[in-house]
Amino acid sequence: MPEQLPLVVRLNAQTFPVSGDERAALARAPMRLVELEGSSDEEIASAVRDADAVMIVSAYLRAPVIAQMTRCRLISRLGTGVDKIAVEEATRQGIVVSNLPDFCTEEVADHTLALLLAAARQLPRYEAAMRRGQQPRAVPHIHRLATQTLGLVGFGRIGRAVARRARGFGMRVLATDPVLTPEVAAEYGVEAGDLDRVLAEADYLALLCPLTERNRGMLGLAELRRMKPSAVLVNTARGELVNEADLVQALREGVIRYAALDVYGGINVFAPDGFPTDHPLFALDNVLMTPHAAAYSDESMVAARVGGAQAVVDVLGGRWPEHVVNPEVEPRMGRLQASGVRR
């Protein structure tokens, strides 16, 4: 009886349909492809139990589901963050986890600056006034950007790209990151400081760090109270970095002036049929919201789908994918050849 082709399960196939470019990249290796949204753990577990590889965009792969994946060699994340994947369990099961750390660096940096500029120039307020036929004068809290300090929490690829852009506007940039060295700070023209200093001195605070169990909820009311009352929070990283109830309270009470958000803890913007707008953030007029759109461009969407597919082709062919999240893993199916960068 002929051996069956490897089974690849592509999750989030409704919210992020398989593209032609992705399908062409997957065609480089013989496989059976199953396309599934994956709206529940039960649905995902049933589909991936016998999968040789799983491709995932925004669904969760929790530890109990991964523990049932008895054949899987690879979990390919078509994106950057892996906070929705139980990486430790995957490592215990001998499953390689890959991601694409640089597929949308420029897009997220652009979007971060777009949110910052919209808040700085108060574009929503001006746009609403224009539609009312009014010309508002003496609008408070509009300052020349060259007089303002941008605080960055996280100084990886995106943080550095944001710093380059902000420096172009003449902003002072203050960054905090455990691995930020004086040499790197000098190279990008930024000052390094701890979180307390960044909170206290920033006119605009941009969250650009990955979500981990250690920093989940890192900004609560106590931290927001350390910021200037005129400060603006910009979050294009992960919504769960912020205690959302505390942020709502801070915005209502004027603890900080404004927030510009692309990510949320309590709003599932990836819901296939849309999401309710009854979250308290929607009732505030001092918050600007976009629906987790910072990563989007024609180029980045091609890069995500093709890069995620290439990781599958690599591992099914016995090779390491380019970007490995858990390099300490002992691959379930034996040694892999070095075809990419194991990191």
**pLDDT given for residue 1 in this prediction:** 39
Span 122-174, pLDDT tens digits? 999 999 999 999 998 888 999 999 999 999 999 999 999 999 999 999 999 99
**pLDDT given for residue 2 in this prediction:** 52
**pLDDT given for residue 218 in this prediction:** 97
- Work out the average pLDDT over 46-57: 97
The 3-state DSSP class for residue 332 equals coil
**pLDDT given for residue 17 in this prediction:** 96
Span 7-28, pLDDT tens digits? 999 999 999 999 999 999 999 9
Report the alpha-carbon distance of residue 156 to residue 219 in Å, rounded.
19
DSSP 247: H
Residue type, 85: I
Taken in order of first residue, the domains within the chain and their CATH numbers are 7-103+298-316 (3.40.50.720), 105-289 (3.40.50.720)
DSSP 28: T
Span 204-240, pLDDT tens digits? 999 999 999 999 999 999 999 999 999 999 999 999 9
Cβ atoms of 224 and 205 closer than 8 Å? no
Report the alpha-carbon distance of residue 271 to residue 208 in Å, rounded.
24
Span 241-284, pLDDT tens digits? 999 999 999 999 999 999 999 999 999 999 888 999 999 999 99
This prediction's pTM: 0.93
* pLDDT over 90, % of the chain: 93
**pLDDT given for residue 332 in this prediction:** 87
Residue 341 has pLDDT above 70, yes or no: no
**pLDDT given for residue 342 in this prediction:** 44
Tokens of 228: 């200037």
**pLDDT given for residue 324 in this prediction:** 97
pLDDT-derived band at 333, boundaries 50, 70, 90: confident
Span 56-94, pLDDT tens digits? 999 999 999 999 999 999 999 999 999 999 999 999 999
Phi-psi region of 224 (alpha: psi -120 to 50; beta: other; left: phi over 0): alpha
